[in-house]
Amino acid sequence: MIQERPLPTFKASTAEVSKEEGLRLYNDMVLGRTFEDKCAEMYYRGKMFGFVHLYNGQEAVSTGVIQTMRPGEDYVCSTYRDHVHALSAGVPAREVMAELFGKETGCSKGRGGSMHLFSAKHRMLGGFAFIGEGIPVATGAAFQTKYRRESMGDESADQVTAAFFGDGTSNNGQFFECLNMAALWKLPIIYVVENNKWAIGMAHDRATSSPKIYKKAEAFGMPGFEVDGMDVLAVRSVVKEAVRRARAGEGPTLIEALTYRFRGHSLADPDELRSKEEKEFWLAKDPIKRFSAYMTEHNLATNDELKAIDKEIQAVVDDAVQFGLDSPEPNPADLRKYIFAEE
């Protein structure tokens, strides 16, 4: 038997989910999963290139965090594993898929690719290919909100920023430096560590002297929580409190979501180091299966209703692919466009 870190328990009965909200969460997770499965297919069919990092298995985190915020109004900052965060933040599947195809209609105009998804309109701060870069950037967005409110007198500036990153990244300097600044200035930010146990081939326990990442918050005088990242309702519950704190000017929160990626690090990773037992342990906790069971058991949806959603989402993703395929390539004459801000 493998020894897994015990997942914190969450009493689903305390969740208080309306049918409407439940369906929204379900929708968002299924969109993430279906989109990523399609990406794998498109990659193997030679429609997308480079390093493509899929999010399968971690959907409850993206959904549980972003859908508990105000998507499109609050800020989201991601990594190279960014497709699903972008989708949860409201970037249309069409624009994400077109970007992965390198098309002019992509959210980054085909210039960025998989690891560089941006959408100012949806307050998606990016897609950052190097680990850790997003943490200071997100901290800066949170600083901006505080600045607007306190220095510019803008009462409506109550946005919260969510910064996503992995367990491996929490060993990088930016993590500690930003936790300090965010706590020091009480910035409205939520640091979300998606601890999926691995940083490519490096097991978390081999990379860090103190594996419980949420406990590192304490050194900075910041609240830290661990949460079952395979349970969307558990994630939603801790995020609710973190969002409340942030909006109330009480400062940042560190959340460590225990989760797992169902695929290799990227589609180029042979994924030879993770054991079969470990994979099976986590596959059995599939966040989508778990939440559909919750929905039906609590009479929030019937199996048929959920199946209908699955079908609708499949259509959305198929449409995104068609849109991407039909979209034009960037114009070679525009090679040097976007270097500087134009008038």
Partner 1 sequence: MAETLMFNALREATDEEMARDNTVLVMGEDVGHYGGSYKVTKDLYKKYGDLRLLDTPIAENSFTGMAIGAAMTGLRPIIEGMNMGFLLLAFNQIANNAGMLRYTSGGNYKIPMVIRGPGGVGRQLGAEHSQRLEAYFHAVPGLKIVACSTAKNAKGLLKAAIRDDNPVLFFEHVLLYNLKDTMPDGDFVQPLDKAEMVREGKDVTILTYSRMRHHCTQAAKALEKEGYDPEIIDLISLKPFDFDTIGASIKKTHKVIIVEECMQTGGIAAELIAAICDRYFDELDAQPVRMSSQDIPTPYNGTLENLTIIQPQQIVEKVKAMVDGQI
Ligand X SMILES: Cc1ncc(C[n+]2csc(CCOP(=O)(O)OP(=O)(O)O)c2C)c(N)n1
- Positive or negative CA dihedral for 118, 122, 125, 128? negative
Helix (H) or strand (E) holding 227: strand 224-228
Phi-psi region of 145 (alpha: psi -120 to 50; beta: other; left: phi over 0): alpha
- Verify binding: residue 131, ligand X, rule CB under 6 A: yes
Size of the site for ligand X (CB under 6 A): 16
Q: How far is the CB of 283 from partner 1 (least distance, A)?
A: 22
Of 309, 185, 197, 183, residue with least CA distance to 254: 183
- Verify binding: residue 56, ligand X, rule CB under 6 A: no
Q: How far is the CB of 57 from ligand X (least distance, A)?
A: 11
- Verify binding: residue 174, ligand X, rule CB under 6 A: no
- Verify binding: residue 96, ligand X, rule CB under 6 A: no
DSSP-derived secondary structure for 73-126 = TSEEE--SS-HHHHHHTT--HHHHHHHHTT-TTSTTTTSS-TT---BTTTTEEE
Which residues would be at the binding site for partner 1 (CB under 8 A)? 49-51, 102-103, 108, 110-116, 128-132, 168-169, 171-173, 199-202, 206-208, 273, 329-330, 332, 335-336, 339
Other residues' Cβ atoms within 10 Å of the Cβ of residue 224: 21
Helix (H) or strand (E) holding 35: helix 19-44
Q: Which is nearer to partner 1, 130 or 284 (CB)?
A: 130
Q: Which of 187, 199, 235, 238 binds ligand X (CB under 6 A)?
A: 199
Phi and psi, residue 228, nearest 5°? -70, 105
Stretch that binds Mg ion, among 36-44, 113-121, 165-173, 227-235 (CB under 5 A): 165-173
Q: Which is nearer to ligand X, 166 or 188 (CB)?
A: 166
- Verify binding: residue 167, ligand X, rule CB under 6 A: yes
- Verify binding: residue 167, Mg ion, rule CB under 5 A: yes
Distance CA 125, CA 162 (A): 10
Q: Which is nearer to partner 1, 112 or 251 (CB)?
A: 112
Stretch that binds ligand X, among 144-152, 160-168, 208-216, 279-287 (CB under 6 A): 160-168
| C-alpha distance across the termini of the chain, in Å | 63
Q: How far is the CB of 298 from ligand X (least distance, A)?
A: 31
| Amino acid type, 246 | A
- Verify binding: residue 268, ligand X, rule CB under 6 A: no
- Verify binding: residue 325, ligand X, rule CB under 6 A: no
Of 97, 87, 39, residue with least CA distance to 66: 87
Binding region for ligand X (CB under 6 A)? 81, 129-132, 165-169, 194, 196, 198-200, 265
